[in-house]
């Protein structure tokens, strides 16, 4: 049955499919300690569902197996050489008016892309198991420790940057899972293969990776530009550079990316317009224009106020005097969050004298 499921997954376009049992992940205690440190920041949903994350059978009663699926969003161009950055965001050049969007967000929202395939696969698993079989699917949304389950299933291993690394797919992976009451034989787990490499720690612009396998989300640029709903701490704004949604530096630097390959499912969902977005164009978006442009992308989740907040920071770091008129207009925006960050950007440019 496992081989049949794997063939179905390949037919539906997934790049890897492996199975583990529904036992609690060994890292559950580490997760509890991470929450106790408040390193999850304002992501309160992580703490609220802590008991479920520690045991998949509290998510689906009588779950026996977890089918873990990987979908590659690797770029079409050859893998970055070791030591290369994913963008010019680390040291923005004065006058640069383009922003950087994390690679995973340069597609139609992956939740939408993968949903149909997961619904179909879960339905087939239920039919394969027969009467009484129940399956529940998630794509980055369920209260489960998906990276730990993926390592136990053999999809990859959790690296020092706390993300999953696949030996065959590199860092550019979307994970999804199907919890099922159907009992399937488990695949062999993957062991950690980071070795002495610490490139990801050195690459982090804010030192959010406090130590190997220890991420303080409150310092992470992905958290600051996506999960944080309020003002970005002023002391962290310069390190954001011209990133406006997420950060790839710790992922892009990983040498395992030399094995990454383009995935079939995401290939036709690319959004080329997000490869090098025009910061001034984004700053001029009203609510209607924002909705029309981003409704089907991951950027939708931070809404206009979050995106323009980030754009103001990027312009403050990378802009020159030519962007001041646009920033002064933004400083009068009806949304206080945008206005405050625009004023900061104006002050930063004037202080820099460019």
* Inside any domain, residue 111: yes
* Inside any domain, residue 47: yes
Q: Return the pLDDT at 80.
A: 39
* Inside any domain, residue 155: yes
Number of domains in the chain: 1
What is the full per-residue pLDDT of the chain (354 aa) written as tens digits? 999 999 999 999 999 999 999 999 988 889 999 999 999 999 998 988 888 888 999 999 999 999 999 999 998 654 433 333 444 344 444 445 999 999 999 999 999 999 999 999 999 999 999 999 999 999 988 899 999 999 999 999 999 999 999 999 999 999 999 999 999 999 999 999 999 999 999 999 999 999 999 999 999 999 999 999 999 999 999 999 999 999 999 999 999 999 999 998 998 899 999 999 999 999 999 999 999 999 999 999 999 999 999 999 999 999 999 999 999 999 999 999 999 999 999 999 999 875
Q: What is the pLDDT of residues 136-149, one digit of tens each?
A: 999 988 899 999 99
Q: Is the dihedral of CA 286, 288, 293, 294 positive or negative?
A: positive
- What are the catalytic residues? 140
* Inside any domain, residue 32: yes
Q: Return the pLDDT at 68.
A: 98
Q: Which residues contact 284 (CB under 8 A, 6 or more apart)?
A: 326
Domain membership of residue 23 as a residue range: 2-84+107-231+251-272
* Pairwise CA distance, residues 112 & 115, whole Å: 5
* Inside any domain, residue 97: no
3-state SS of 113-149 is: HHHHHHHHHHHHHHHHHCCCCCEEEECCCCCCCHHHH
Structure tokens at 337: 């969050």
* Inside any domain, residue 148: yes
Q: Return the pLDDT at 76.
A: 66
* Inside any domain, residue 72: yes
Q: What is the pLDDT of residues 286-300, one digit of tens each?
A: 999 999 999 999 999
* Inside any domain, residue 9: yes
- Residue 276 sits at φ, ψ, to 5 deg, of -150, 70
């Amino acid at each position: 049955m496992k081989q049949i499921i794997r063939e179905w997954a390949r037919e539906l376009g997934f790049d890897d499919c492996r199975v583990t049992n529904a036992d609690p992940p060994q890292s559950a205690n580490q997760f509890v300690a991470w929450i106790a440190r408040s390193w999850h920041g304002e992501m309160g949903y992580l703490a609220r569902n802590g008991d479920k994350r520690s045991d998949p059978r509290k998510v689906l009663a009588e779950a026996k197996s977890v089918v873990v699926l990987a979908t590659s969003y690797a770029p079409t161009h050859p893998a970055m050489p070791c030591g290369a950055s994913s963008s010019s965001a680390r040291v923005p050049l004065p006058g640069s008016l383009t922003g950087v969007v994390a690679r995973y967000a340069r597609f139609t929202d992956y939740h939408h892309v993968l949903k149909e395939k997961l619904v179909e696969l879960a339905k087939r698993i239920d039919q394969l198991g027969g009467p009484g079989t129940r399956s529940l699917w998630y794509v980055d949304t369920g209260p489960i420790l998906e990276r730990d389950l993926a390592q136990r299933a053999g999809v990859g291993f959790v690296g020092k940057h706390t993300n999953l690394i696949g030996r065959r797919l590199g860092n550019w992976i979307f994970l999804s899972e199907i919890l099922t009451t159907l009992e399937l034989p488990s695949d062999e787990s993957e062991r950690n293969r980071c070795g002495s490499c610490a490139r990801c720690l050195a690459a982090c612009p804010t030192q959010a990776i406090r130590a190997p396998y220890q991420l303080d989300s409150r310092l992470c640029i992905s958290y600051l530009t996506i999960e944080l709903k309020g003002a970005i701490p002023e002391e962290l704004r310069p390190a954001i550079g011209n990133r406006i949604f997420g950060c790839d530096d710790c992922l892009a630097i990983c040498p395992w990316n030399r094995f990454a390959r383009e995935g079939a499912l995401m290939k036709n969902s690319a959004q080329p317009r997000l490869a090098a977005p025009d910061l001034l164009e984004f700053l001029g978006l009203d609510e209607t224009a924002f909705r029309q442009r981003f409704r089907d992308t991951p950027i939708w989740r931070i809404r206009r106020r979050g995106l323009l907040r980030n754009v103001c920071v990027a312009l403050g770091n990378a802009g020159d005097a030519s962007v001041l008129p646009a920033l002064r207009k933004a400083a009068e925006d009806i949304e206080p969050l945008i206005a405050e960050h625009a004023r900061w950007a104006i002050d930063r440019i004037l202080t820099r004298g460019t």
